[in-house]
Amino acid sequence: MTLKDKAVQHASHYFDEGGFKKDLSELIAVKTESQNQKYNLKNYYKNNIIPMLTEMGFKCNIMKNSSPESNVFLFAERIENHNFKTILTYGHGDVVLGQDESWEDDLTPYKLIEKDGSFYGRGTADNKGQHFINIKALNSLLSVQNKLGFNYKILFEMGEEIGSPGLKLFCEKNKEKLKADVFIASDGPRISQKTPTIFTGSRGGINFDLSVSLRDGAHHSGNFGGILKDPSIILSHAIASITDARGQINIKDWLPTSLTPKIKQILSELPLVDAGFKLDPDWGQIELTMSERVFGWNSFCVLAMISGEPNAPLNAISGYAKATCQLRFVVGTDVKNIIPALRKYLDDHGFEDVDIHKTDMNPFPATRLDMNDPWLSFVKKSLESSTNLKIDLLPNLGGSLPNDCFAEVLNLPTIWIPHSYAGCSQHSPNEHLPIAIARQALLCMTSLFADLSTSEKV
């Protein structure tokens, strides 16, 4: 029996005999809402992650965030030989708000419940379940040979769900500590539930508010309707002008330049994302495939709008209207010009009354790895060998991650292997991780680490 076989057998027994469910339930029970300051997020490190990693031979250090915003970092490393290859990974222990009252009657956010072939609980998919799978895959390798055969560094944060405040600065100030040969981590969804996915970067995301403020207070719609500007109508027309009726972006400076024939070819081989609900083929850039629209192009959306008193409408023309909007963008988009281009576009189309304000959410830049990178080829080959499946290879995730911290600041090849799927209800009630995905992911990562242990070079 090979080293890989022994490690995979150990991982299989651990999962099938209930160890994985039991240990994951302890992580899910810890409330780590980064949007809620009443919880001590360090407890997740101190009571759960550090004891687990210390037992595996890691040195752990909770480190202060030099940013004035709240976030807590944990750095852990196991250095076996300075001549060995070094892998850096990442995970976030924070979760979004539990939304307790909105879960199904037999479910609750902070208790792991097995139902209909899935583990339910806040953080099962985003991101506790995912980084826990990778830790336990490492542990399976250590359990059969008492060594990794490579060096491994882990960076955890507690602020990803609020824009990773301070993460980029932390990486800039700790380049030597975080030095590695490759970055391999897990977050986000697979394209399909049955097949592992690799993505090498992410679309960027920037949020901004559009508002029209014409006067203090509201005025009677009968007495003044027709002679007072309505900020809601002005704002609605401004927003509508940004795209056409099917959501195609009209601002030329917002369009990317990176949808090359090579990227088109890669995307053409992918199945449509398994969302678990009906998608809209008649929305978005008309000449592009649906995969190209979400992974190779930019998209604009309105996250929220408000004017007047929505819960108690009055017969009055409001003096104010606001919408929170978002642009998701791929590499090849001039990030610094996104807001200036919008300002110019609105002014050119007669919407000088519309103000633009950046939100508190830190924008995520867009990133993407060279598709010919040898580390990418190695990881893809390992996953395909262990599953006998053709891996879904994405140039970048449709969503946003702080990947620029690792790809640009640390200058590492970045490879993400997600252990969830698009319909997992992350950020919503009833978040869950399908058991079949969790088991397959554990075995895949165990096989990958075994391959890294026995490989002399990539």
> Domains in the chain, start-ordered, CATH in brackets?
3-202+367-454 (3.40.630.10), 204-266+293-358 (3.30.70.360)
Least confident of 41-45, 122-126, 271-275, 442-446: 271-275
How far apart are the C-alpha atoms of 192 and 41, rounded to whole Å? 33
pLDDT at 396 over 70: yes
User: Which amino acid, one-letter code, is at 243?
Assistant: T
pLDDT at 327 over 70: yes
The confidence score (pLDDT) of residue 457 equals 67
Of residues 374 and 359, more confidently modeled:
374
Q: What percent of the chain has pLDDT over 70?
A: 99
pLDDT band at 163 (very low <50, low <70, confident <90, very high): confident
What percent of the chain has pLDDT above 90?
Answer: 88
Write out pLDDT tens, residues 270-311: 988 877 788 999 999 999 999 999 999 999 999 999 998 888
Say how far apart CA 40 and CA 31 lie, in whole Å.
Answer: 9
Average pLDDT over residues 247-264: 96
What is the DSSP code string of 403-429? Answer: THIIIIIS---EEE---SBTTS-TTST
Structure tokens at 228: 């007072």
In angstroms, the first-to-last Cα distance of the chain is 24
More confident residue, 197 or 309: 197
Instruction: Look at residue 152 and tell me whether its pLDDT is greater than 70.
Output: yes
Strands (E) in 197-349, as ranges, are 197-199, 204-213, 219-220, 299-307, 316-317, 320-329
**What integer pLDDT is reported at residue 455 of this predicted model?**
85
**Could you report the per-residue pLDDT of 234-253, keeping only the tens digit for each?**
999 999 999 999 999 999 99
Which secondary-structure segment (H or E) carries 172? helix 167-173
Would the pLDDT of 362 be above 80? no
Tokens of 60: 């752990």
Mean pLDDT confidence for 170-184: 97
| pLDDT band at residue 101 under the 50/70/90 scheme | very high
Whether the Cβ atoms of residue 7 and residue 140 lie closer than 8 Å to each other: yes
Alpha carbons 456 and 440: distance in angstroms, whole number: 26
**Cα dihedral 111, 117, 123, 127 sign:** positive
Task: Calculate the average pLDDT of the chain.
Answer: 95
Statement: residue 66 has pLDDT above 80: no
User: 68 falls in which pLDDT band (50, 70, 90)?
Assistant: low
- Three-state SS letters, 11-51: HHHHHHCCHHHHHHHHHHCCCCECCCCCCCCHHHHHHHHHH
10 Å Cβ neighbour count for 244? 11
Quote the pLDDT of residue 359: 83
Beta strand 59-63 pairing with 73-78 = antiparallel
The answer, yes or no, to whether residue 67 has pLDDT greater than 70, is: no
Q: Which residues, including other chains, have CB under 8 Å from residue 59's CB and lie 6 or more apart?
A: 76, 77, 78
